[in-house]
A and B are shown apart, each in its own frame.
Chain A
Amino acid sequence: MMKNRKKPQSNVAFYNNPEKRAIIYQVLALAGIFLFTYFILNNMFINIEKRGINTGFDFLGNEAGFGIIQSLIHYDESNTHGKVFVVGILNTILVSAISIVFATIIGLLIGVGRLSKNWMISKLSMIYVETFRNIPVLLQILFWYNVVLASLPGPRQSLSYFDTIFFNNRGLYIPKPILESGFIAVFIAFILAIVAVVYLVKWAKKKHENTGENFPIFFTSLAILVLSPTIVFFISGSPASLDYPALKGFNFRGGWSLIPELLALSFALSIYTATYIAEAVRAGIESVPKGQQEAAQALGLKDYVILKKVVLPQALRVIIPPVINQYLNLTKNSSLATAIGYPELVTIFAGTTLNVVGQAIEIILMTMAVYLTLSIIISIAMNYLNKKMEIKER
């Protein structure tokens, strides 16, 4: 429309042409941003040089010289700052992943609970949401950490379960399986079980479409997944042994341990983020026209079947976008760990390493880059899921 009107005015000066003017302004704005950035960076480098502050990424190869309480890969004090960076990223991902899983489960339950016809469940869910949403998450982290620590006994008075599982203020200790060479057979059995389940699901779906009969997929799959590796495990002569935690000196050694910092942090993040997810779930469910539910009821479907097969699939389109945001927030909030000493990226890399080497600019930039990358990955994955959930017109 615009184009048709402008063509005859081609004798107008280019700076009076709205289309060209818009482009000129944008180019000017962009140039301005570039100049500003250049000015700032240039000044920064000049001043850093003048002050004799070290620059560059050489520090990543230097020995770190400090210990870290939890690492998913092998780490000791003689490793480099580069490795500290990796350990930090992994710990950030670990706590975020755990919290995302639990926040989603709790959020889904509470969100459905708020719409429950049961007065008590719906009110309790509302109280949950209103309480935990309105308290700053840092306070919640400190609260849970102090509660966890205060309620647990010291290592010598540990709570124990058959002398194999121990719980004290240093963490939760469970036996750690030591795998022997024959264990590969169990692993293969597990992979085969997964493949079998995939085929089973396909078969059951087809059967359902053809005959309308329901096959108990969930329990059958569970049985296959659990039983087949277990049977292979015993047939191949139990190729694994357990390393039991035992009290040695000041503390327990051996076994797997879960530190209270991780427990408290994932607890707080899950509970806090779940309130927002619950609200998204509620909004999603309420967006599904009531008629859909009534129609399903008229067909005589059970309540949980209505929820699972009629309501949720339609609600998910509304639920997923805000939930993406909550996953991103949760990941970024994990940096609050520094208050309780959980060794994630900000605590050990943007904290200790920064102080040891003092190169704030490089380290902060690297840390920002990690959060940016994590956010983009979550966003891409969830958007992909969102695309899949869109209503398919047939």
Chain B
Amino acid sequence: MKLLKSLSIGIATLTLATTVASADTLETTIKNGTLSCGLSTGLPGFASPDSNGVWKGIDVDECRAVAAAVLGDANKVKYAHLNAKERFTALSSGEVDVLSRNTTWTATRDSSLGVNFAGVNFYDGQGFLVKKDLGVKSAKELDGATFCIQAGTTTELNLTDYFKANKMQYTPITYDTSAQTIEGFKAGRCDALTSDSSQLYSLRTTLKDPSSTIVLPEIISKEPLGPVVRQGDDKWFNIVKWSHIALLNAEELGVNSKNVDEMLKSNNPAVKRLLGVTGDIGKNLGLDPKWAYNIIKQVGNYQEIFDRNVGKDSPLKISRGLNKLWKDGGLQYGAPIR
């Protein structure tokens, strides 16, 4: 079936490629009334179903923000759940219009896959999860260890680099989805699980006894994760890019889902431009003047999204770290809306 799935994606590439490239993504999205968005197959905090089966997470909110900006309704999103191997094909074949699936921005992907990275919604790095009883305190002690990895990720390549640089040996077991990866780790098939550290914290919450494991201190790579769109549709690229930037600017200006209505009356010219009270940013993007208002009202600002999905209000409790705003010492820097 897996082969069949890949084959059908291959064929979809052949046929869909014929129609999609010429189409205007904004136009078709408005016509369809829904945004088609590619998510992961399930990763708590980033994209996973809650007890009612509604998908929640940072990556989900990224898509909801775009839907709010384009369609005025954050709920008008159709999700496709893709594994790491399928994601780019699904995007370039037109199966999804935005890929919001903890995808690392790399030079190869940006330059050879026909895709554009529209921003970074999570600055991440690859780490290691091990069982405590193994007695390992540092990644440098993992010589000869077996690793559970998700196939088709930058993780596989980083691991090779790291072990080569430190002259160590390793054995990889590569699974299809992150759920299978954690299953392999649970069953003791591998000594350590390696992935982006955000994922490690996320997967750790699915263990029966999370405290029996530790995340090692080493971060062996840079993993800027963010939404991806197809190349060749600059209008759409701009929309996705600025929907994300609007989230950052809203946090910086102190606009959130609760106070956004009052903020419409704010005297701060930056807030007025953001919320479409003045200026014609919305028009330039091909959107409603209230595009950013809709995002903030329905989805919240970056801080709200972060806190409720992965931060202090979530079971994951990941600290903001690199994902703080630039003025707080982090890397999140929203280009000015003016």
Contact = CB atoms under 8 A, between A and B. Distances in A.
Interface string B148-177: 000111001101110010000011111110
A341 B174 contact: yes
Contacts of A261: 173
Given A138-B1, A146-B183, A357-B112, 8 more contacts: A51-B92, A51-B114, A67-B160, A149-B184, A347-B151, A351-B176, A352-B152, A356-B152
Interface stretch (B9-17, B238-246, B303-311): B9-17
A361 B114 CA distance: 14
B15 A77 contact: no
Interface string B181-194: 00110011101000
Nearest to B131: A154
Contact of B171 (A50, A67, A335): A67
Interface stretch (B58-66, B82-90, B275-283, B290-298): B82-90
B18 interface: yes
A28 to B, nearest CB: 23
A302 interface: no
B3 A335 contact: yes
20 contacts: A47-B17, A48-B17, A52-B112, A54-B112, A67-B170, A77-B164, A149-B187, A154-B188, A249-B145, A251-B145, A335-B2, A341-B151, A341-B180, A348-B174, A355-B151, A355-B152, A356-B108, A357-B112, A358-B88, A364-B6
From DSSP, what is the main secondary structure of chain A's interface residues? Answer: helix
B112 A340 contact: no
Interface of B: 1-3, 6-7, 9-10, 13-15, 17-18, 20-21, 84-85, 88-89, 92, 108-109, 111-114, 134, 142-146, 151-153, 156-157, 159-161, 164, 170-176, 180, 183-184, 187-189, 191, 230-232
A361 B230 CA distance: 17
Contact of A53 (B2, B6, B113, B153): B113
Given A77-B164, A154-B188, A361 B152 contact: no
A238 interface: no
Contact of B173 (A50, A341, A367): A341
Interface in A217-256: 248-251, 253
A76 B3 CA distance: 25
Contacts of A138: 1
The 5 closest A-B pairs by CB, nearest first: A355-B152, A51-B114, A364-B10, A53-B114, A43-B18
A206 B152 CA distance: 60
Contacts of B230: 51
Given A338-B176, A368-B7, A51 B1 contact: no
Contacts of B109: 358
Nearest to B157: A65
A280 B220 CA distance: 55
Contacts of B189: 149, 169-170, 260
Interface in A338-393: 338-341, 343, 346-348, 350-352, 354-358, 360-361, 364-365, 367-368, 371
A73 interface: no
Contacts of A338: 2, 151, 176
Contacts of B164: 77
Interface centre among B10, B15, B20, B109 (most CB of A within 10 A): B10
A102 interface: no
Nearest to A334: B3
Contacts of B187: 146, 149-150, 169
Given A250-B144, A250-B191, A68 B172 contact: yes
A47 to B, nearest CB: 4
Nearest to B93: A360
Interface centre among A48, A253, A343, A354 (most CB of B within 10 A): A354
